[in-house]
Each structure stands twice: as C-alpha cells, then as structure tokens.
Amino acid sequence: MAGMDRAIEKKKWPAIRIVKYSAISLFVLAVSYLLIFKSSSSSIRVEKDRLTISTVERGPFQEFIPVMGEALPINTVYLDAVEGGRVEKIYVEAGTMIKKGAPILKLSNTDLLLDVMFREAEFFQQSNNLRNTRLSIEQQKLSLQQDLAQANYELLTRKKEFIRLKALYREQLISREAFDNAKDSYDYMKEKQKLTRESMDQDLLFRNKQVAELEENLNRMKQNLKITQAKLNSLVIKAPVSGYLTSLKAEVIGESKQAGERLGQIDVLDGFKVRARIDEHYISRVEMGRKGEFSLAGKDYLLRVSKIYPEVTEGRFEVDLTFDGGVPEKLRNGQTVHIRLALGDLTEALLLPRGGFYQTTGGNWVFVVDSSGSAAVRRPVKLGRWNTDVYEVLEGLKPGDKVVTSSYDGYGNMKKLVF
C-alpha cells in the first residue's frame, strides 16, 4: 500500500501565460480608468436656475457703440485781445449774463495811443496840403484863363486890323510894308494864343494829376488812421453776442495782456450740442449724419453727427452731435450723457443676446442646450458685429437654438454642461 501512495504535483502556469493575462488585465483596467476619467472630466453638473439661457432669433439689427458725451452750448464765442495792453478797468465778472455790445474789459496801450495821435496829425497836415494845392490850382487856373482871354482879345483885334489893311492894300492905299507888318502881327498873335491855350491845358493836367495823387495818399492815410483807431477802440473788449460769460481771464488791474491772448468765453445758451470722444478704432466708420440717442428723465432724445474732428489725441477723436428734434429741458452745460451711436443702417440678421460668456470664449464657441433640455453641449460658432444688446451670428447657430449666455467661469475645458 505504501508503494501505491504517490504525491500529486501542482500544475504551474507557464510564465508566458502569466504575462499574457497580466497584460490583458492591465489594458482593461487602463481603458476603464480612461473612460471613467474622460467621462468625468468632459462634463460638469450645474444648476440650471443659476444660468442665463437665451434664444437665437432673427430680427432687426443695428450696430452701435456706447460713447460718453458732454453737453455744450451750440454756439461759443471766444474773446481775444486784438492788441496788447494793461488791464485798466473790469466792468463785469465771470459767471454773469451779458448783452451784446456791453463792455467787459478795458485795456490801455500808450504806444498805440501815440501812434493814433501821430497818424491823426499827419492826416490833418496832408488834408491841409490838399486844400492849399486845390486853392493854388484854382488861382493858377484863373490866371491862365485871364491870359488866354487877353490873347484871344488881342488876336481878334489884330485880325480885324489885318483884314482892314488887306483891303486897303488891294486898293493900293497903303504901302506893302504896312500890310506886311499887320500880317506879321496877326500871325504872331495866332501863335501866341495857341501857345497860351496849350500851356493852360498842360498846367491844368499836371495840377489835376498832382491833386489826384494827393487825394489818393490822403485816402490811404485815412484808411490807415481808421485801422489804427479801430485798434484803439478794440482795447475796450465788448460782448459780440448776448450770452453767459463763462470765463474772464483778467482779475487784477494793471495786469499785462499780449495781442492774441485769450481773455474769456461767452456761451450762447439758446441751444445745446453734445461733444463725444470716440476710440480711434471707429474713426473710419463714424460719418456725418450718423444717428445717436440717449435717455434723460425717462425720455429718449435723438442726435446726429454734425461735425467730425479728425485729430486723434490719446487714442481718441471728437465729434459734435446736434439734436434732431427736441432738446431736453433739464439738460445743463457740461452735463455728461451716455449715447448709443449707430455705426450702420438697420438690417435683418440672426441675433444672440449678449452675456458674460464672451469674455471666456471670445465668440468662438458657446454651450447650446440639446434636444432633451437636460444638458448643453459645446459648439463652435462665428459672431460678427455687435451692439450693447446682441451679437450678430454668422455661423454655427440657427433660429430657435437656446444658448447659455451667462459667464463660463469655472467650466474650464468642459465639453458638456449637465443640468
């Protein structure tokens, strides 16, 4: 019996089988892990009530940008010093209403005053010279006319004498010598009368020319005197229009002001305009006549671009907008208004309401609610123009799509939001 008992040896797996099954197990575990990890990392559970879900719709679209504007008087007049001088008298203070023609400020300028006095004296002297010249011409003219009259008389007398002696000579009652003397005397007087007339004409022509030159010179001096007197009068600064004296840069008597220096400003308060500063990015798109609107005291007001200032300062340029319709009664000088400035005409477009999602996606993708309504799936899109309310949808969405438009902060690279 003892010889029949035998130990049963345990079968061992070959090493190659162990390696094979171990590899299979590791593969299955790895795939399961990746599937579980991928599933958990590509989606996130969110509370639907905390989301903003908007519907894509087709409707009217107008691109506009928000800009800040400042209410200004529609007409502003600046007061500049035409001539320099010292402040002699201040008639009114800044911050008061003033009527057209009312004096505001008086300057004194001794050099200008002396110049006016010198020009006046020179003008009066030239005027006296002209008067004396005219008197001299009249006297000379009278003298020449007397000489001419005397020459005419003597010519007539000698002509008669010549005719009488000529008749006597034909009848041989006088000598040839007497006849020749009469003829020579008559011819001499004809030449003398001719020379007297020519001399008078030349003298009058010269003197008239002299008078014309004196008159021209006198008129020129008169104009210069008027200009100088106007400069002297301009030392009294008067209001060119009725309005509000916004500023006056003269506070001390004796203060010196230079020619061309800005002295003050008058605002005409019978109307307002709005001046806005706009980012230079839009300088090629803002055109004359573009519409803008703002709200004040619960009422909307329409504006139109009336002037564009092309100069760019610190990355911005300025435009003036005038009211197209009524002006707000409660609008005040310097008041700030928030304007919606249109950049294009009203068109039909596919629209997506604006929201915080854009800060994360840059408008390149959004979460779109699926047909079950229980989740939102990431989808690439292309957005175009925008205004303060909506984006223009170019690709990726259709009317009726529901999009999560609230902020995507915290969603990372998630592909799906589970409600």
Q: Are residues 153 and 225 in the same domain?
A: yes
Q: What is the CATH number of the domain that holds 395?
A: 2.40.420.20
What are the Cα distances from residue 151, in Å, to 162, 191, 307, 360, 363? 16, 10, 80, 117, 113
- Residue 91 DSSP one-character state: -
Q: Assess whether 227 and 139 both reside in one domain.
A: yes
234 to 92, 249, 265, 308: CA distances (angstroms) = 17, 17, 16, 33
What pTM value is reported for the model?
A: 0.51
Burial of 81 from C-beta contacts in 10 A (0-12 / 13-18 / 19+): buried
- For residues 159 and 227, state if they share a domain: yes
Q: Which of 342, 362, 390 is the last residue of a domain?
A: 342
Q: Tell me, yes or no, whether 144 lies in a domain.
A: yes
Whether the Cβ atoms of residue 239 and residue 100 lie closer than 8 Å to each other: yes
pLDDT of residue 17: 60
Q: Residue 239's closest CA among 357, 95, 78? A: 78
Residue 315 belongs to domain with CATH number: 2.40.30.170
Does 5 reside within a domain?
no
Residue ending a domain, among 317, 342, 367, is 342
Are residues 144 and 228 part of one domain? Answer: yes
In degrees rounded to 5, what are phi and psi of residue 76?
A: -125, 130
Of 71, 412, 5, residue with least CA distance to 272: 71
pLDDT at 385: 87
For residue 81, give both structure tokens.
């010093």
pLDDT at 68: 93
pLDDT for 169 equals 85
Residues 102, 115 within the same domain: no
Of 342, 372, 389, which one is at a domain's C-terminal end?
Answer: 342
Q: Is residue 263 part of a domain?
A: no
**Has residue 11 been placed in a domain?**
no
* Total domains, the chain: 4
Shared domain check, 156 and 54: no
Looking at the structure, tell me whether residues 101 and 244 fall in a common domain.
Answer: yes
What Rg, from alpha-carbon coordinates, does the chain have?
53
pLDDT, position 200: 85
Please tell me the predicted confidence (pLDDT) of residue 128: 82
- Domain annotation covers residue 128: yes
Residues 361 and 304 in one domain: no
- Domain-embedded: residue 47: yes
Q: Is residue 20 part of a domain?
A: no
Same domain, 389 and 409: yes
DSSP code of residue 13: -
Q: Cα dist. 279→52, 61, 210, 317, 390 in Å?
A: 31, 22, 68, 7, 20
How is residue 257 written in tokens?
A: 């002001």
Q: What is the CATH number of the domain that holds 101?
A: 2.40.50.100
- State whether residue 378 is helix, strand or coil: strand
**Residue 8 within any structural domain of the chain:** no
- Collapsing DSSP to helix, strand or coil, 80 comes out as strand
Cα–Cα distance for residue pair 395/364, rounded to 1 Å: 10
The reported pLDDT for the residue numbered 196 is: 84
Instruction: Give the separation between CA 79 and CA 228, rounded to whole angstroms.
Output: 20
Contact 258, 80 (CB under 8 A): no
Q: Does residue 388 share a domain with residue 250?
A: no
Per-residue pLDDT of the chain (419 residues; tens, 9 = 90+): 444 455 544 445 566 665 565 666 665 555 454 444 444 458 899 999 999 999 999 999 988 889 999 999 888 899 998 888 899 999 998 888 999 999 999 998 888 888 888 888 888 888 888 788 778 777 878 888 888 888 889 889 989 988 988 888 888 888 899 888 989 988 899 998 889 888 888 888 888 888 888 888 888 888 888 888 888 888 899 999 988 898 898 878 888 888 888 899 998 877 889 999 999 998 998 999 999 999 888 888 999 999 999 999 999 999 999 998 888 888 888 899 999 998 878 889 999 999 999 999 999 999 999 999 999 999 999 999 888 889 999 999 999 999 999 999 988 789 999 99
Residues 212 and 223 in one domain: yes
Output the six-digit token pair for 125. Answer: 């002297």
For residue 140, give Cα distances in angstroms to 128, 130, 146, 149.
Answer: 18, 15, 10, 14
The range of the structural domain enclosing residue 371 comes to 41-61+348-418
Residues 227 and 329 in one domain: no
